[in-house]
Homo-oligomer: A and B are copies of this chain.
Amino acid sequence: MDKNLVVKDLEAVRSQSPLVQSITNYVVMNNTANALLAIGASPIMAHAVEEMQEMATICQSLVINIGTLSPRWIEGMLLAGKTAKAAGHPVILDPVGAGATSYRTQTCFKIIEECQPDIIRGNGSEIMALVNSDIKSKGVDSSESSSSAVESAKILAKRYNCVVTISGEIDYATDGEQVIEIHGGSPMMAKVTGLGCTASALVGAFAVVNRNYLQAAASAMQVMAVAGELAAAKSRGTGSMQMNFLDELYNLSANDIIK
């Protein structure tokens, strides 16, 4: 992929500081907010039905992550998603644990149907589970490689007219026709909870500044991969990895990306 486009998108995020609403899971909220701040965006976490229309209107994009689902939160997700979509804001879905329980899989389909997300980002198992109901996820960690999910991602993208991104050893972004591969990262990234969720949040920020969603998603994933690779090289374990990852996002230069 063209690294200069990534640099351009990153610079746009930093200069425009997009306001990104995340309705996400309890486990990762702190890290997601910090990652958005580190990359130059402005995060909001809010979920109550009572403020979803106002909140989704003032924010510039919406990231829905189903990691710790419950009924009232789903109501908030659907209302926010419809409001953001109607306002022309990018809507991103992170189908955490799709395939692990029918509640998760069905909620994903409900969100897809009612909110028509522009971008779906998941791991191999999750993406495959959204295409083939026979696929069972092992909880929230992927039991399928990202490369084995590329065909599913293309089907999903065509079926719902969206961009699909798969995280894994290699990351992929596809609009159903074109497939962009993103290399880099580190195996240690899968051992820090919620870096996939962070990726979805960054996709939400990049989609504000680049309405070519395929490129926006690829840029965000490339930024994740570069920051992850740089952070892993400095980290003694997963505790320092989590810290260094934020430091790398905060300091990421054009040169880091081009190299």
A interface vs B, CB < 8 Å?
A: 19, 25-31, 33-34, 37-38, 42-48, 50-51, 54-55, 58-59, 67-72, 97, 100-104, 136, 138-141, 191-194, 235-240, 242-251
Cβ–Cβ contact B239 & A242, under 8 A: yes
Cα distance A45–B164 in the bound complex, in angstroms:
25
By a CB distance below 8 angstroms, the chain B residues around A251 are 236-237
Chain copies in the assembled complex? 3
A32 to chain B, nearest CB (A): 8
A98 to chain B, nearest CB (A): 12
- For A139, give its contact among B28, B44, B136, B238 (CB under 8 Å): B44
Cβ–Cβ contact A46 & B34, under 8 A: no
By a CB distance below 8 angstroms, the chain B residues around A194 are 30, 33
- For A48, give its contact among B29, B42, B47, B103 (CB under 8 Å): B103
By a CB distance below 8 angstroms, the chain B residues around A26 are 26, 29, 45
**Can you offer 28 A-B residue contacts whose CB atoms are under 8 A?**
A19-B138, A26-B26, A27-B45, A30-B30, A34-B193, A38-B191, A38-B238, A42-B138, A43-B139, A44-B139, A45-B67, A46-B68, A46-B69, A47-B70, A48-B69, A48-B71, A48-B103, A50-B71, A54-B101, A58-B100, A58-B139, A70-B72, A237-B251, A238-B246, A239-B242, A239-B247, A242-B243, A242-B246
